[in-house]
């Protein structure tokens, strides 16, 4: 969409009581930053909306309690013209095994979402989309803590607990789902890129002081955090040491020495605690570190390969193709915070 678009896209956040505030506020802020970027390009900061106009709405309207305790003011969903909705986004609420979804909101989503160009959820908002039948037969993301609940409650949904966000297009309809809280900003930036192009999305990310526009396939956990979580703290110090020494030789023998164990005992206990071999953790941490360096610096790929312990640029290329399906140069071109 060009900066001189005559009709702004109407983004509607359909919210339930106990809204997780950042699920809505983060994406709303991203859309506003994109709007500011395009207004600046038009040299008319006070112009009418040229990219987006955003509405926060609930079933009853008025003051809406949020999970954070800060109330917000919402419009009534039944006061909106569904034909004007370009993008419908459903943010999350706290979910446990006893949570009852607001039936009126489920019914409104089921009746009106099919008229929107695209539908999305942030975090546990996926439960509302699933209850409305919009995720049947689709792959969907949610917060990693709620993925098992979503799969158990809605077995017709293909739940994936790893990605930051998922874009599922089939039968001519696009549905986006995202992981928890700040992942909603990543989702919004992806929607902005789809509408307004890479440059506007990256400038919006800069305005938000977001380090980079993360790809949807990126894991919800960093590799170091995922390993520490799986180990329950047993190898926290070692994982921190590994992250700081990726350029070094990280053989089982060297890791065992750092952990003050024999190689045989270390290898066994590590697999028991983390659920994968030390070599797999090292490989995953190296790829993640290389991805961060590509996005956040202008260092040559050869230098990044050496700094992250790949030895050669060719080894880095092979690892990147396996993990991300693209070459390092393509990844940098798409996700670098140093461009645009």
Mean pLDDT per block of 10 residues along the chain (340 residues) reads: 59 97 95 90 70 96 94 96 96 94 98 96 97 96 92 95 87 90 89 89 79 52 52 74 91 94 94 88 90 86 94 92 82 64
Q: What is the predicted pLDDT for the residue at 154?
A: 97
Q: What is the predicted pLDDT for the residue at 232?
A: 54
Q: What is the predicted pLDDT for the residue at 3?
A: 40
Q: What is the predicted pLDDT for the residue at 132?
A: 97
Q: Which two tokens stand for residue 93?
A: 């609420």
Q: What is the predicted pLDDT for the residue at 221?
A: 45
Nearest 10 degrees: Cα torsion 104, 105, 106, 107: 50
Residue 291 dihedral angles phi and psi, to the nearest 5°: -60, -40
Domains of the chain by start residue, with CATH = 9-207 (3.40.50.880), 223-335 (1.10.10.60)
Decide: pTM greater than 0.85: no
The distance from CA 303 to its chain's CA centroid, rounded to whole angstroms, is: 29
Which amino acids are annotated catalytic?
A: 123
Q: What is the predicted pLDDT for the residue at 322?
A: 82
Closest by CA to 108, choosing from 87, 124, 129, is 129
Q: What is the predicted pLDDT for the residue at 340?
A: 46
Q: What is the predicted pLDDT for the residue at 5?
A: 43
Q: Which two tokens stand for residue 156?
A: 């017709």
Angstrom distance (rounded) from CA 219 to CA 163: 5
Q: What is the predicted pLDDT for the residue at 243?
A: 86
Element (H, E) at 119: strand 118-121
């Amino acid at each position: 969409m060009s900066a001189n678009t005559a009709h702004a896209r109407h983004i509607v956040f359909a919210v339930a009581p106990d809204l997780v505030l950042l699920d809505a506020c983060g994406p709303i802020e991203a859309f506003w930053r994109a709007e500011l970027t395009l207004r600046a390009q038009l040299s008319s900061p006070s112009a009418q909306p040229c990219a987006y106009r955003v509405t926060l709405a609930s079933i009853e309207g008025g003051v809406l309690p949020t999970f954070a305790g800060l109330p917000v003011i919402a419009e009534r969903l039944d006061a909106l013209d569904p034909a004007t909705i370009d993008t419908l986004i459903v943010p999350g609420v706290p979910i446990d095994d006893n949570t009852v979804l607001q039936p009126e909101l489920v019914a409104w989503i089921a009746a009106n979402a099919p008229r929107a160009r695209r539908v999305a959820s942030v975090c546990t908002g996926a439960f509302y989309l699933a209850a409305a039948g919009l995720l049947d037969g689709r792959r969907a993301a949610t917060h990693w803590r709620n993925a098992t609940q979503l799969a158990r409650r809605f077995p017709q949904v293909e739940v994936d607990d790893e990605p930051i966000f998922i874009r599922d297009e089939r039968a001519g309809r696009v549905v986006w789902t995202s992981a928890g809280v700040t992942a909603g900003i990543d989702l919004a930036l992806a929607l902005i890129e789809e509408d307004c192009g890479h440059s506007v999305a990256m400038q919006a990310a800069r305005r938000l002081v977001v380090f980079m526009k993360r790809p949807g396939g990126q894991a919800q956990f960093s590799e170091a955090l995922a390993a520490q979580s799986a180990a329950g703290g047993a190898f926290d110090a070692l994982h921190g040491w590994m992250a700081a020494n990726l350029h070094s030789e990280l053989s089982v023998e060297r890791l065992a020495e750092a952990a003050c164990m024999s190689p045989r005992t270390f290898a066994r206990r590590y697999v028991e605690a983390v659920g994968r071999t030390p070599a797999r953790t090292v490989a995953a941490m190296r790829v993640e570190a290389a991805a961060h360096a590509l996005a956040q610096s202008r260092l040559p790929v050869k230098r990044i390969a050496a700094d992250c312990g790949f030895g050669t640029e060719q080894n880095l290329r092979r690892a990147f193709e396996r993990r991300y399906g693209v070459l390092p140069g393509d990844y940098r071109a798409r996700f670098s915070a140093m461009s645009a």
